[in-house]
Amino acid sequence: MKISTKGRYAVIAMMDIALHDKIGPVTLSDISQCQGISLSYLEQLFSKLRKSKLVKGVRGPGGGYQLALAASDISIGDIIEAVDEKMDMTKCGGKGNCAKGKKCLTHFLWNGLTENLKEFLAGITLDQYVNRPQLMDKVKKQDVLYGRFLNRKTAA
C-alpha cells in the first residue's frame, strides 16, 4: 500500500506547524513555499484538518494556522484519517464481497495488514518527531533560506 499525495502532504504540513509551534501561527503560503505543495491543495487539506479539529486558524497580522491540540495528542493516523485517506489493503474495501459476494481467500490476511497499519500510524504522534536533531537542522536551514519568521521571537 502506498499513502497517497493527500495523506503525505497533510502529514508534512502538520509537521511544519508542529515544528514552529513556539514561534506562532504558520501561513499556508509559508508551508507551500517551503514544502513545495501548491497553495490551493493546502487549502483543500486544511479545510478537512479544521473540520477534524486538528488545526485552528488565527486571523490578523501574524496569523495563520496552529495545532488545535498538543502535538502529543495528534497521531499520524489522525491526520491521514482527517483528509479522508483510505487505508485499506483489501480488494473489497473491507466489505468482504471480493469473491462473488463473499470474502476471498486472502481477505483476512489483507484485512489484518490494514488493521496493523492503522494501529502503527495511530501510535506515532507529531511530538515524537518535533525535537529530532536532524529534523531541527533541516527546519532551521529552510527557515533561513525562505526568510521565515525573521521578525518573530520565540514564545516563552
Indicate the range of 46-50, 54-58, 87-91 predicted with least confidence. Answer: 87-91
User: Is the per-residue pLDDT at 146 higher than 80?
Assistant: no
Residue 2 confidence (pLDDT):
67
pLDDT in tens, 106-119: 888 988 998 999 99
pTM, entire model = 0.81
At 54, the amino acid letter reads L
User: Is the domain covering 5-86+125-146 a CATH 1.10.10.10 domain?
Assistant: yes
pLDDT of residue 69: 98
Domains of the chain: which residue ranges?
Answer: 5-86+125-146
CB 5 within 8 A of CB 19: no
Q: Which of 37-51, 63-77, 116-130 has the lowest mean pLDDT?
A: 116-130
